[in-house]
């Protein structure tokens, strides 16, 4: 993890010096730079926040309180007195401004996978009779595809795999639901949520968006763009912790028609009435299922404090500047032909990660991690580097590119 040695042979010492100086200037001008102190980080470069966000340092003490006082002392009283019962909607309202949603439309709970199931089945029911196709991003994160396929079997629909760019051409009078990711988990490509949502609506279908790789990294504008239903996880850019509960957005105009395929007692209008017949709650609570995972949920709630006072537009601006700068450093340091970016160069098509195709990607990533530059691998040959603007800076980007060049120089021809 040496900061001083540069063993790569392609970049001149002056190039390296110039890039390091630029990095320092960019960090000095960065309005979000002070956020990094809020996180428990070491002196490595953590570029895997798109898989597991870093721990905000204040969280353990808050969780300790949940365990020892709320559970240990108040016990059952905490459902009321510590706000446990209403946590799913309360925390949903904390996430809402980060994804451009007014209050009352997001509920937190369950995994993204489970929420994909709720959303796709409910969307198919909203779309109504006579529409029998569910269009699914052909390159989607596997769980979305698996769950959509099962939802289709249950509801008597047919799955149509389609590349997001081809969705407009694939839409028709038979389309019921379109399930898309705003940002592709592998390539980091940002899809046109406003345009695709409008196209889905023009065809009379229902748009379901998965925000796992966009929420907390860029403005989503759920309300503004008329998205129908959306899901997302909270352990990536939102730093909620391993396995922290996901969320479900149901636009207010669809809430009355939202017919959950998992109508548990927590989504009942009168949960403690314990009646044999199901009557759904109004509002976002309709998306609940069973007893919420309170410890994880309150861990997430505490973690969201790291977002207080942060504008998503500022996050987006920094994210683009960071990924631009990282690509520039890679270009300057890495010998030509060793890596190819599969992340679009155009800002309008880029999320908050850079994915580089590379030979021997597995051993390259292992060596990077050994030197304190933590990204991850999507087999067989993609190195992923996630840039989380709350705690990654420009010097980190420069160092990651420099260490990558060193590793590649050592593994030349390997
Ligand atoms: C991370 C991710 C998931 C994760 O689903 P879990 O149910 O939390 O395991 C789902 N979909 C996409 C697109 C993701 O990026």
- Cis ω before 380 (30° cut-off from 0): yes
- Residue 5: is its pLDDT beyond 60? no
**Helices (H), strands (E): how many in the chain?**
13, 13
Confidence of residue 413 (pLDDT cuts 50, 70, 90): low
Distance CA 39, CA 55 (A): 6
The protein residue whose alpha carbon is closest to atom 15 in ligand 1 is: 212
For residue 10, give the DSSP letter. S
Least confident of 119-123, 272-276, 353-357, 409-413: 409-413
Q: How far is the centre of ligand 1, averaged over its atoms, from the C-alpha of 9 (Å)?
A: 40
Instruction: Provide the mean pLDDT of the chain.
Output: 96
Beta-bridge partners for 231: 210, 248
Active site residue 210: yes
Active site residue 235: yes
The reported pTM is 0.96
Q: 175-181 and 158-162: which strand pairing?
A: unpaired
Mean pLDDT of 68-86: 98
Residue with tokens 């953590």: 46
Distance CA 387, CA 400 (A): 11
Q: How far is the centre of ligand 1, averaged over its atoms, from the C-alpha of 296 (Å)?
A: 17
Q: Which SS3 state, helix, strand or coil, does residue 171 take?
A: coil
Burial class for 249, CB neighbours closer than 10 Å (0-12, 13-18, 19+): buried
Q: Which SS3 state, helix, strand or coil, does residue 327 take?
A: helix
CA 331 to chain centre: 27
pLDDT in tens, 277-335: 999 999 999 999 999 999 999 999 999 999 999 999 999 999 999 999 999 999 999 99
> What is the fold, at CATH topology level, of the domain defined by 60-307?
3.40.640
**Ligand 1 atom at minimal distance to the Cα of residue 246:** 8
Which residue from 138, 218, 219, 213 is spatially nearest to 179, judged by alpha carbons? 138
Pocket test for ligand 1, best of 185, 214, 220 (most atoms within 8 A of CB): 185
Q: How far is the centre of ligand 1, averaged over its atoms, from the C-alpha of 277 (Å)?
A: 33
Which residue from 355, 347, 351, 358 is spatially nearest to 388, judged by alpha carbons? 351
Mean pLDDT of 39-51: 97
Q: How far is the centre of ligand 1, averaged over its atoms, from the C-alpha of 116 (Å)?
A: 9
Distance CA 100, CA 96 (A): 6
Q: What is the pLDDT of residue 360?
A: 95
Report domain extents, the chain.
Answer: 13-30+311-410, 60-307
- Residue 2: is its pLDDT beyond 60? no
CB 111 less than 6 A from any atom of ligand 1: yes
pLDDT in tens, 207-261: 999 999 999 999 999 999 999 999 999 999 999 999 999 999 999 999 999 999 9
pLDDT in tens, 365-391: 999 999 999 999 999 999 999 999 999
Percent of the chain with pLDDT over 90: 96
CB 112 less than 6 A from any atom of ligand 1: yes
| CA-to-CA separations, 15 to 22, 170, 238, 334, in angstroms, rounded | 11, 48, 35, 12
Distance CA 364, CA 222 (A): 38
pLDDT in tens, 138-175: 999 999 999 999 999 999 999 999 999 999 999 999 99
Tokens of 304: 């969201």
Alpha helices in 34-189 (DSSP H): 59-65, 78-81, 87-95, 112-127, 142-155, 167-170
- Residue 357: is its pLDDT beyond 70? yes
DSSP string, 254-304: HHTT---SS--GGGBSSGGG--SS--BPSGGGGG--SS--HHHHHHHHHHG
Q: Which of 144, 210, 293, 376 is catalytic?
A: 210
Q: How far is the centre of ligand 1, averaged over its atoms, from the C-alpha of 287 (Å)?
A: 18
CB 238 less than 6 A from any atom of ligand 1: no
**Ligand 1 atom at minimal distance to the Cα of residue 185:** 15
CB 233 less than 6 A from any atom of ligand 1: yes
Active site residue 376: no
Domains 13-30+311-410 and 60-307 share a fold: no
**Ligand 1 atom at minimal distance to the Cα of residue 115:** 7
- Residue 1: is its pLDDT beyond 90? no
Tokens of 14: 């002056």
Q: How far is the centre of ligand 1, averaged over its atoms, from the C-alpha of 313 (Å)?
A: 24
Q: What is the pLDDT of residue 9?
A: 53
Q: Which of 20, 94, 118, 236 is catalytic?
A: 236
**Ligand 1 atom at minimal distance to the Cα of residue 111:** 7
Q: 13-30+311-410 in CATH: which number?
A: 3.90.1150.10
Beta-bridge partners for 136: 161, 179
CB 181 less than 6 A from any atom of ligand 1: yes
CA angle 393, 397, 398 (to 5 degrees): 115
Q: How far is the centre of ligand 1, averaged over its atoms, from the C-alpha of 233 (Å)?
A: 6
């Amino acid at each position: 993890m040496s900061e001083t040695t540069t063993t790569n042979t392609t970049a001149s010492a002056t190039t390296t010096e110039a890039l390091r100086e630029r990095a320092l200037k960019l960090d000095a001008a960065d309005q979000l730079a002070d956020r990094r102190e809020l996180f428990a980080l070491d002196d490595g470069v953590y570029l895997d926040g798109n898989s597991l966000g870093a721990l905000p340092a204040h969280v353990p003490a808050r969780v300790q309180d949940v365990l020892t006082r709320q559970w240990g002392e108040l016990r059952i009283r905490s459902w009321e007195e510590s706000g446990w019962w209403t946590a799913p909607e309360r925390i949903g309202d904390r996430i809402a401004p980060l994804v451009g949603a007014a209050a009352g439309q997001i509920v937190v709970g369950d995994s993204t996978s489970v929420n994909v199931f709720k959303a796709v089945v409910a969307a198919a029911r909203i779309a109504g009779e006579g529409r029998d196709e569910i269009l699914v991003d052909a390159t989607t994160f596997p769980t979305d595809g698996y769950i959509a396929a099962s939802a289709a079997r249950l509801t008597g629909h047919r799955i149509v795999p389609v590349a997001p760019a081809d969705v407009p051409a694939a839409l028709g009078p038979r389309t019921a639901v379109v399930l898309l990711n705003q940002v592709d988990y592998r390539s980091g490509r940002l899809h046109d949520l406003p345009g695709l949502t409008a196209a889905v609506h023009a065809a009379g279908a229902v748009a379901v968006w998965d925000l796992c790789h966009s929420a907390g990294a860029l403005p989503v504008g759920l309300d503004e763009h008329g998205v129908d239903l959306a899901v997302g996880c909270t352990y990536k850019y939102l730093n909620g912790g391993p396995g922290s509960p996901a969320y479900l957005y149901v636009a207010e105009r669809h809430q009355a028609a939202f017919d959950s395929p998992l109508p548990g007692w927590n989504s009942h209008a009168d949960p403690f009435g314990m009646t044999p017949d199901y009557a759904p709650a109004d509002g976002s609570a309709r998306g609940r299922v069973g007893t919420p995972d309170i410890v994880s949920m309150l861990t997430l709630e505490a973690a969201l404090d790291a977002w207080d006072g942060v504008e998503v537009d500022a996050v987006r601006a920094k994210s683009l500047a960071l990924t631009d700068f990282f690509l520039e450093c890679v270009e300057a340091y890495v010998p030509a032909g060793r890596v190819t970016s599969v992340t679009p160069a155009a800002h309008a098509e880029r999320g908050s990660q850079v994915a580089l195709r590379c030979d021997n990607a597995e051993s390259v990533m292992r060596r990077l991690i050994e030197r304190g530059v933590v990204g991850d691998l999507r087999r067989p040959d993609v190195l992923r580097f996630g840039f989380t603007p709350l705690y990654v800076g420009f010097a980190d980007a420069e160092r990651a590119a420099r260490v990558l060049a060193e590793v590649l120089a050592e593994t030349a021809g390997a």
